[in-house]
Amino acid sequence: MARITASVYTSHVPAIGAAIDLKKTGEAYWQPLFKGYEYSKQWMKENTPDVIFLVYNDHATAFSLDMIPTFAIGTAAEFAPADEGWGPRPVPKVIGHPELASHIAQSVIQDDFDLTIVNKMDVDHGLTVPLSLMCGEPQAWPCAVIPFAVNVVQYPVPSGRRCFQLGQAIRRAVASYDDDLKVHIWGTGGMSHQLQGARAGLINAEWDNRFLDRLIDDPAGLSEMPHIDYVREAGSEGIELVMWLIARGAMADIDGGPRPTVKHRFFHVPASNTAVGHLILENN
Ligand code: DHB
Ligand code: FE
């Protein structure tokens, strides 16, 4: 039986990818940010899963206003890093897990969550930057990755409650897979940031830290938070945080199991226009 052993939460700023690719991680601006992920990279080496179920958002890269799936699961054998305007990032291609992805699609759709199935897709910074932060710069990513794209770019976007319930369905899907696989689920994007308009540059560290507290201790209550609160308090792009509720909903305690252990918590401002938050929770 496959099982979810841990969940990881991290922001995904494109400039972090550029800092890594251009060898600037030791610069004064970036050093404190990357220091916060040193534990995480070691933890990843010691707790490498067979598969990462990576919840992220595409930024009008693979999708556009032409086609806007709310929830899209990547079932392909591989996914290339996308060209977002400066050429593709020089990172390994992402190796998928078509068998587990198809099983999860089957299970979750029969469980009433209507996913879009994606057999061909390039993956943007939303997916590759979290991998770089957690895995460093390997020749190949250490395990298979199932990309799971959520629309948080064009309204209407899914509610926190829907995301939290979807996480629970993903947990059931993984648990019903026959092979003995160790699976991580990652929730990415956020925390507070706004990239345009009169409030561009908004950061709300106090609200972000309260979000981290509640994600750990009160995820069901947090899942009831309406969109307007995210946008008012954390800026227009702060809505990316609803994706973290998918990962949190897939943890054992939500299903009556023991509470997870907080292995690591980190928060840092600034990284480009964004407050970077990061958590690692292990199932017990
Ligand atoms: C920034 C943050 C994002 O989440 C993103 O998708 C693009 C840019 C930024 O802070 O610059
Ligand atoms: Fe983003």
Residue spans of the domains in the chain: they are: 3-282
Ligand minimally distant from the alpha carbon of residue 33:
1
**Please, what's the largest Cα pairwise distance for the chain?**
52
pTM above threshold 0.90: yes
Q: Give the separation between CA 239 and CA 144, rounded to whole angstroms.
A: 27
What is the reported pLDDT for 166?
Answer: 98
DSSP designation for 67: B
Task: Please return the burial class of 269, using the count of CB atoms within 10 Å of its CB with bins 0-12, 13-18 and 19+.
Answer: middle
- Rounded to the nearest angstrom, the distance between the alpha carbon of 7 and the centre of ligand 2 is 19
Q: Read off the tokens for 260.
A: 């997870």
Name all residues whose Cβ lies below 6 A of ligand 1.
12-15, 59, 193, 195, 237, 272-274
Ligand 1 binding pocket mutation candidate from 10, 11, 13 (most atoms within 8 A of CB)? 13
Active-site pick, 12, 59, 103, 193: 193
pLDDT for the residue numbered 260 = 98
CATH of 3-282 given 3.30.43.10, 3.40.830.10, 3.40.50.2300, 3.30.70.890: 3.40.830.10
Active-site residue, 125 included: yes
Mean pLDDT for each consecutive 10-residue tract of the chain (284 residues)? 98 98 98 98 98 98 96 98 97 98 98 98 98 98 98 98 98 98 98 97 98 98 98 98 99 98 98 98 98
Supply the pLDDT for residue 186.
99
**Residues sharing a CB contact under 8 Å with residue 117, sequence separation 6 or more, in sequence order:** 72, 73, 75, 105
**Protein residue with least CA distance to atom 3, ligand 1:** 13
Alpha helices in the chain (DSSP H): 14-21, 31-35, 38-46, 98-110, 125-135, 160-175, 205-217, 219-222, 227-234, 244-249
Give SS3 for 3.
strand
Please give the pLDDT value at position 198.
96
- Taking the C-alpha atoms of residue 121 and residue 183, their distance in angstroms, rounded to an integer, is 22
pLDDT of residue 142: 98
